[in-house]
Amino acid sequence: MSAAARYGEPGAAIGADTAVLRVQLEHRSVREFGPRDVTEAELEALVTAAQSAPTSSNLQPWSVVAVRDPARKARLAELSAGQGFIERAPLFLVWIADLGRARRLAERAGAVICAPDYLETTVIGFIDTALAAQNAVVAAESLGLGTVFVGAIRNRPLEVAEELGLPAHAVAAFGLAVGEPDPSERADVKPRLPREAVLHRERYDAAAADAHLPVYDERLRAYNTRFGLPGTWTDRILARLKGPESMGGRHALRETLFRLGLPSR
């Protein structure tokens, strides 16, 4: 696999090559899985890789719930916009932005902490959770496993919290289906924006960057056509960000965070 596939451009290349880079360039979402299970040794390796990610001030404000039970996966799939691949995956990891651990630590120490009430700390919780999970994705793919993130776990966060028995001050940030990729799945490496559309040097140049968007629209249209999908990247972005009606219930996230003990003020 090469940068050509990543950008959907035959001449694209990068001037560096390592085994890790090759794994990263080959990343694609996997929604159909083969018959083999994810072993406990592999699960532990994924979590250890996740714990090797950077963390702000060593707060480590995340946890992960490993779900294998078919009935629980089915309920989580229903809570996540009915995405059936969650049920078919042998392992479903729910990544938790977890400020409850620090709260409990303060209670045991008889200390008062107020910073977890503020938006900055909530943001740290989500950022660190994402960094950890991405480490786990790279580790999984290096083991021959496939993955796909599930943002729809935030569609009904109160029900998800109840299903997983989450403590106060914790919220499911996203899910991650993990398993052996089914080679018959019709999917491929999806082209990303041209490098020049995201890489700025010294100062942000919106005009220069955005000049590459029409080219990307055509590349993604060609990719989508291969798999019977309609539209361009622009079409997708405008539809996804149209308004509350396009957010799957997540427009109420601030109120939900408050109810779960993350005021984020």
DSSP 72-88: HHHHHHHHTTT-THHHH
Token output for 196: 């020049």
pLDDT, mean of residues 180-201 = 96
152: amino acid identity, one letter: A
Residue 1 pLDDT > 60, yes or no?
no
pLDDT in tens, 90-99: 999 999 999 9
> pTM above 0.85?
yes
Q: Which CATH architecture has domain 29-186+250-259?
A: 3-Layer(aba) Sandwich (3.40)
Residue 65 exposure: Cα atoms within 13 Å on the Cβ side: 24
Residue recorded with tokens 């294998």: 68
Residue pLDDT, tens place only, 110-165: 999 999 999 999 999 999 999 999 999 999 999 999 999 999 999 999 999 999 99
Q: Whole-angstrom Cα distance, residue 38 to residue 41?
A: 8
Tell me the three state secondary structure of residue 247: coil
Q: What are phi and psi of 218, to 5 degrees?
A: -70, -40
> What is the average pLDDT across 23-41?
96
DSSP state, residue 182: P
Tens-digit pLDDT profile for residues 207-240: 999 999 999 999 999 999 999 999 999 999 999 9
- Is residue 119 within 8 Å of 127, Cβ to Cβ? no
